Amino acid sequence: MAEGFLRAMGAGRVEVASAGTHPKAGVHPLAVAVMAERGIDISGQQAKGLDPETAARMDLVVTVCDRAAAACPVFPPPVRTLHWPIDDPAAAPGDAAAHLAAFREARDLIERRVRDLLASLPGSP
């Protein structure tokens, strides 16, 4: 979801890649559904593995859940890291309605964080 928001709201100002902790797992269908509610299609997104060459080109790494932060390697300076402790909506307890609500809550939190991040970048309006 963060990748989708950054692509949509970043308007080409940022290069975005999603490494994911399980790159081959694909995008959760509920993530696709709740992002579509915002007019953003993430159905074609795919997490990529993180190789040293890609990592060397990064300025900023953002982790969006505690599991991702624990699995993320340590990046040497000048790579800046941010952690957004957002509960994994796929792990939410309850029925289908509760799962959908958890994905919407995570989406809304990520959207606010992305807006704040983009506003903090040099040259932002």
CA angle 23, 72, 26 (to 5 degrees): 15
User: What is the pTM for the complete model shown?
Assistant: 0.86
Dump the DSSP string for 39-75. T---TT-------HHHHHT-SEEEE-SHHHHHHSPPP
Residue 96 pLDDT greater than 80, yes or no: yes
Q: What radius of gyration do the chain's Cα atoms show?
A: 15
Residue 112: per-residue pLDDT: 97
Distance CA 42, CA 38 (A): 11
The overall average pLDDT reported for the chain is 85
Backbone angles phi, psi at 62, to 5 degrees: -120, 125
- Asked if residue 79 lies in contact with residue 57, where contact means CB atoms within 8 angstroms, the answer is no
- Please, what are the domains in the chain? 2-116 (3.40.50.2300)
Looking at the predicted structure, is the pLDDT value of residue 22 above 80?
no
